[in-house]
Every structure is written in C-alpha cells, then in structure tokens.
C-alpha cells in the first residue's frame, strides 16, 4: 500500500546517463514516492524547476556542460528543497564544496538502492520538519499581528501593569483618552503617581498581584485631571506568559460608560423610509429590511392589522437592487375571486365574456421589480395552486393563453392571519407557505413599541395640519397620556385615524382630550358589548359629526351609507369607518355587498 505522503512527494532526478535516471526513477517509484521526474541536462532541469516545485532534487555532479555544482548555486534564487549530489569520483574537495553550497548529502557511485532510499528518506524528513517550522513561524507572526491589531482597535481601554505598578503597555484607545483627560497616565508611569482618583485602579492591581486571580467587573467614579468626572466599567486580570505560564503582571480593562445610554440612543434611527419609531423592536425591523432587501428572495411580512406591512414592502423594494423597477401592489381581498386570476395573471382577448382586449396582469407589470401581495392568507385554494406554480417556475399562463410567459419578479407577501394555523387546519397550502416564508419579517403591534407613539403622533399632526391647512403645533400632555395608555387594537392605522379626527375637530393650535374619541378617553376597547348583549362598534358617522357607536344590526346599512358618501371609493370608506381596508372587504362579502 502506497503511503499518501510519499505519493504526494515530487522528486527531480538529474543525470546525463539514461540508465541511471531510469534506475533511480524505478527505485523511488516502487518505494511509493511520486511523481518522480527526470532531466538529462542542466538546462532541462532548470526549465522543470521554473515550472513546478520539488520536494527533493538528486543530481549528478559531473555532467556534460554545466555540472551539478552549478545546480546547487541556483539555491541563491530561492530554491528551498534539499539537494543530494551523486558523484563517481568522490573526494574531500568535492564533498566540502557541495556541502558549502547547501547540499544535504552526496552519494558515491555505484549507488546502492538502500543508500539511495535512506538518504532520500532523511532528506525529505528534514525538509518536512523545516516546512513545519516555517509554517509555525508564519502562523506565530500572523497570530501576533492579530493580537496587536485587536489590542490597538478594541473599543475598551487596555493597560498592562507590571509587579511594580508601572504601566508597560497601552492600546490606542487608552492613549487617546489619557492624552485628553488624564495626561499623567502614560507608559512608564506608576499608577500610584497618577491622580488620586486612579487609586482604585492601583487597588485592583494589588488584589490581582496578591492572589493572582481576576477582579470581577465593577463600576467606579473617577475625577479627571482636566475637570469633571466619569463613570468607568473596570476589570483586572492576571497577565501570564504563554510559554511557561509565568506571572508577568496585570491587565486593566476599562470603558467610559457615563453616557453609554445617550450614545446608544444617538445611534438609533427615528425614521427609515416611511417607517417611524425608535423602539428596539423597530430598530430590529429596520436592520432586517436592510439585510433582506439586498437578497433577492421571497419575504413574508406578518403582523396585526394596521402595523405597517405595506410600508415595509415599500422599504424592502427601496433597499433592493430592483429599486429602479416597478413596485406593483395587489390586495388579494379587494378583487372578487372570479376576477382575481385575470387581474393577477392577465388575460387574452376573448378569453371570457367582456375580455375585449389583451390585458397585462399585475405579475407582468412587475417584471424586473417587486410584486407585493397583501392579505395573501385570504386567497382561494385554486389561486394558491396557481401562485405556487408561478413561484416555483417563474412562468405563468394568462387566462386564455396556451403559451407560458416568463418574468423576473421578486414576491413580497403580507398577512395579518396566522398562516401556520391555516396550514394546520388545511386552509392554506403548506408548500406555498414555505415558498412565501423564505424570510419572515414580523411587525410588532403598537402597544409593544415603547417610546414610538409620541413620534408617530408628531408625524401625523404635521401631516394632517398641513393637509387641512390648520396651524396645529402640538398636543397636550393629558391627551398624549390618554393616547399612550390606550391599547390600540387597530395599531398605527387606528392611531393615524384618531389623530386625523382630532385635527378635524381641533379649533385651536393644540390637540386636547376633548378632540379624542370616547374609546380613547375611557380606555375602552373599540368593540364593546351593550347592556342587552348586542355588539356595538365605534365607526365614523357623518350624522354624528365624528366617531360614534353603531349596532351590528345597522352595520350593513351604515357601511352602504359610507360607501355611497365616498362615491364607491372603498379605501376612503374604510378610512372613514376606522377599519382596515381588508376588514371592509370581508364585511362587504359577509353582507353580500360585492
């Protein structure tokens, strides 16, 4: 069985005698070495050396033209592998010259097989040890560079101290901070000679020196030489030698955390595209959008109604390489099921009654860009199947067309339904669910977005005061407190409608509690139960001049009335009713108002 290391060993045999070349090649090859390459002249050998790397070179000293000694001299060009010289006339001068020029050994003719193999083995072993040493040296240097880079660039301030409390080393962070705030702290100075405020640093070092154990992280106040004071987070650990584990001193690590929270807040984004908020939940959403936007894959946006799923879809498109191409939106609940296939996939002229011309569907309109499918959880099983085939193959058939159409579209879907439960109940295809949910962005409800409500209120106030041509400059503390305490089942969309209503009713420059709807002032839910058990819902009523409770028995008539007031504009009607557009479509379907 051939040794794997031997089989990967490249050897060059140089000799002008063909029989010797072939004999050496045979001996070495049978031993398992390879590849074994031969050359008959100095020039041929040099050509091979320039083309490939060898682990061992065996060369005759006496050849026609240039000799093997000349081959040894090329080591000055950087040849590192061992070389074994073969001579028929061994003498001291020849041997010393060969060794002086770097030959590993020399063999006298006639060369015995055992001598050849033993010398080759020893030369290759030495070369292997030399290469390992070189590798470890390079690795050590690289590791040292890594440590020095980390030491220089880490955000914490690092100071090493010897047994005499003398500062031995400081990273760039520590040097820069000391130069500005505490010039007395420098390499070579004693910690006890620095400002009195640094006594706690010296105390920590003394503890480590005495017990040779780390001092756990703690916080201290330090008075600066330049005036003022800061709060440091500090820890101290033993500094040991890597070779003999000897105790060298102490490592101090500290960071100014006086304004850490302010710095973190300063780094947060208040606005991101059309989204607004500084809460941790929204910062996570912003980061997800940035990362996912660049990846050309399907995204499923989930969250309660009114949380801003459409705005996330817009932000994803804006962050993607497709930003210059169209973003086509399709509300899966706004189109009757019998027209949805035509609306989404398009149709051919004459495909059905009323199809008097060819029509591009939303998918083809979005070619090269992004297709946003809102309320994807409400589509029929047939549409689920057609959509799945499109996602798998990126081709589709317009209604009445027998030739497939291929498009390059990124699909972003959104739903306020729990698709996982729908899959378990058999109401939504599992394969389509996982096709859509390659990446999942979950939007938090407004009640979980701590600190975002005042920002959103300010944003909506500026928008509606300008739209209504009113000089509304702010909101009272009491009104803002009521808004903050409310649960917001309709989330940001409900807040937007409430602020719009308040701006409509406001007669001064400040929104007050009187301008807020009763459910916000009382803290009640939007949907409540009346005394006789009949449900009521707070919706916009033109007759009442604002939001008012409407019984469920009269809800159908009220919806018809509001749609008539808006001349059939369902988006505006949903806004006036204070409900989500998809909710309006579902109610219309339930009452047979399609």
Stretch 392-396: mean pLDDT: 82
**Rounded to 5 degrees, what angle do the CA atoms 11, 12, 17 make?**
135
Q: CB-hemisphere CA count at 13 Å for 266?
A: 5
- Please report, for the domain that includes residue 177, its CATH number: 3.30.450.20
Q: Average model confidence (pLDDT) for the chain?
A: 79
CA dist 330 and 536 (Å) reads: 31
Are 279 and 421 part of one and the same domain?
A: yes
Check residue 14 and give its pLDDT. Answer: 87
How sure is the predictor about 154, in pLDDT bands with cuts at 50, 70 and 90?
Answer: low
Q: Does the structure show a pLDDT above 70 at 148? A: no
Are 373 and 488 part of one and the same domain?
A: no
Are 309 and 245 part of one and the same domain?
A: no
User: Which of 227, 262, 297 finishes a domain?
Assistant: 262
Are 93 and 166 part of one and the same domain?
A: no
139 lies in a domain? no
Q: Does the structure show a pLDDT above 50 at 376? A: yes
- pLDDT (tens digit per residue) in 492-527: 999 999 999 999 988 888 888 888 988 888 764 333
Q: Does the structure show a pLDDT above 90 at 242? A: no
Are 82 and 218 part of one and the same domain?
A: no
99 lies in a domain? yes
251 lies in a domain? yes
The contacts of residue 568 (CB under 8 Å, 6+ apart) are: none
Are 114 and 61 part of one and the same domain?
A: yes
314 in helix, strand or coil? helix
Is there a contact between 111 and 28 (Cβ–Cβ < 8 Å)? no
CA dist 506 and 365 (Å) reads: 43
pTM score, whole prediction: 0.48
- pLDDT (tens digit per residue) in 293-330: 888 888 999 998 889 999 999 999 999 988 899 999 98
- Please report, for the domain that includes residue 471, its CATH number: 1.10.8.60
Q: Does the structure show a pLDDT above 50 at 354? A: yes
Are 401 and 502 part of one and the same domain?
A: no
35 lies in a domain? yes
457 lies in a domain? yes
- Choose the most confident range, by mean pLDDT, from 84-88, 182-186, 366-370: 366-370
Number of domains in the chain: 4
Are 219 and 361 part of one and the same domain?
A: no
96 in helix, strand or coil? helix
When mean pLDDT is compared across 13-22, 259-268, 426-435, the lowest value belongs to 259-268
- Choose the most confident range, by mean pLDDT, from 83-97, 174-188, 480-494: 480-494
Are 426 and 300 part of one and the same domain?
A: yes
Residue 303 backbone class (left: φ over 0; alpha: ψ -120 to 50; beta: rest): left
Are 381 and 245 part of one and the same domain?
A: no
Looking at the chain, how many residues does it have? 594
- Choose the most confident range, by mean pLDDT, from 105-119, 219-233, 457-471: 457-471
How sure is the predictor about 384, in pLDDT bands with cuts at 50, 70 and 90?
Answer: confident
CA dist 242 and 580 (Å) reads: 66
User: Which of 224, 244, 262 finishes a domain?
Assistant: 262
- Of residues 62 and 125, more confidently modeled: 125
- Please report, for the domain that includes residue 40, its CATH number: 3.40.50.2300
User: Which of 101, 132, 163 finishes a domain?
Assistant: 132
- Report the candidate in 465, 570, 475 with the shortest Cα–Cα distance to residue 516: 475
Are 526 and 384 part of one and the same domain?
A: no
- Please report, for the domain that includes residue 333, its CATH number: 3.40.50.300
Q: Does the structure show a pLDDT above 70 at 137? A: yes
Are 350 and 432 part of one and the same domain?
A: yes
Check residue 372 and give its pLDDT. Answer: 92
- Of residues 83 and 137, more confidently modeled: 83
147 lies in a domain? no
H-type alpha helices, 353-418 = 362-365, 381-393
- The two beta strands, 229-240 and 247-256, are antiparallel
583 lies in a domain? yes
Is there a contact between 312 and 285 (Cβ–Cβ < 8 Å)? yes
92 lies in a domain? yes
The contacts of residue 49 (CB under 8 Å, 6+ apart) are: 12, 57, 74, 79
Stretch 340-369: mean pLDDT: 77
Check residue 460 and give its pLDDT. Answer: 92
- Report the candidate in 506, 587, 503, 507 with the shortest Cα–Cα distance to residue 539: 587
For residue 426, the enclosing domain spans: 271-444
């Amino acid at each position: 069985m051939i040794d794997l290391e031997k089989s990967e060993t490249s050897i060059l045999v140089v000799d002008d005698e063909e029989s010797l070349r072939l004999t050496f090649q045979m001996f070495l090859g049978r031993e398992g070495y390879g590849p074994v390459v031969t050359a008959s002249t100095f020039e041929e050998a040099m050509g091979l050396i320039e083309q490939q790397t060898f682990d061992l070179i065996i060369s005759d000293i006496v050849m026609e033209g240039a000799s093997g000694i000349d081959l040894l001299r090329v080591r000055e060009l950087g040849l590192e592998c061992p070389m074994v010289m073969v001579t028929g006339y061994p003498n001291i001068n020849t041997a010393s010259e060969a060794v002086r020029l770097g030959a590993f050994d020399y063999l006298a003719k006639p060369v015995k097989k055992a001598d050849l193999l033993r010398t080759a083995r020893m030369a290759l072993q030495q070369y292997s040890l030399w290469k390992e040493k070189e590798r470890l040296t390079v690795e050590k240097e690289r590791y040292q560079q890594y440590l020095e880079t980390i030491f220089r660039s880490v955000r914490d301030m690092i100071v090493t101290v010897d047994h005499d409390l003398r500062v031995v080393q400081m990273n760039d962070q520590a040097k820069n901070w000391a130069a500005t705030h505490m010039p007395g702290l420098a390499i070579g100075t004693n910690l006890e000679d620095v400002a009195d405020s640094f006594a706690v640093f010296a105390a920590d070092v003394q503890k480590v020196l005495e017990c040779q154990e780390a001092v756990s992280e703690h916080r201290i106040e330090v008075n600066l030489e330049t005036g003022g004071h800061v709060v440091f987070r500090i820890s101290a650990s033993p500094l040991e030698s890597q070779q003999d584990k000897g105790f060298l001193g102490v490592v101090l690590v500290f960071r100014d955390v006086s304004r850490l929270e302010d710095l973190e807040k300063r780094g947060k984004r208040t606005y991101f595209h059309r989204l607004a908020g500084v809460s941790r939940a929204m910062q996570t959403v912003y980061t997800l959008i940035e990362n996912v936007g660049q990846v050309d894959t399907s995204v499923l946006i989930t969250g309660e109604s009114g949380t801003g799923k459409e705005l996330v879809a817009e932000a994803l498109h804006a962050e993607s390489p497709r930003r210059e191409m169209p973003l086509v939106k399709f509300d899966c609940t706004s189109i009757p099921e019998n027209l949805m296939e035509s609306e989404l996939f398009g149709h051919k002229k004459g495909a059905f009654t009323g199809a008097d011309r060819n029509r591009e569907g939303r998918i083809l309109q979005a070619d090269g860009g992004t297709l946003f499918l809102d309320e994807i959880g409400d589509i029929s099983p047939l549409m689920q199947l057609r959509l799945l085939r499109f996602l798998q193959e990126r081709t589709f058939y317009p209604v009445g067309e027998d030739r497939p159409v291929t498009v390059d579209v990124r699909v972003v879907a959104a739903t306020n339904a729990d698709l996982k439960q729908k899959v378990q109940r058999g109401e939504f295809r599992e394969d389509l669910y996982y096709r859509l949910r390659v990446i999942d962005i979950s939007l938090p409800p407004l009640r979980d977005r701590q600190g975002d409500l005042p920002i959103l209120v300010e944003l909506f106030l500026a928008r509606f005061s300008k739209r209504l041509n009113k000089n509304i400059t702010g909101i009272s503390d009491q009104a803002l407190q009521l808004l903050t305490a409310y649960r917001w089942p309709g989330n940001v969309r409900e807040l937007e409608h409430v602020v719009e209503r308040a701006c409509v009713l406001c007669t001064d420059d400040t929104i007050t509690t009187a301008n807020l709807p009763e459910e916000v002032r009382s803290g009640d839910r939007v949907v409540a139960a009346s005394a006789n058990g009949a449900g009521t819902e707070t919706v916009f009523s033109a007759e009442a001049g604002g939001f008012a409770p409407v019984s469920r028995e009269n809800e159908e008539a009220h919806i018809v009335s509001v749609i008539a007031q808006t001349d059939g504009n369902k988006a505006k009607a949903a806004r006036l009713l204070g409900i989500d557009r998809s909710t309006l479509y579902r109610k219309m379907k339930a009452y047979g108002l399609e």
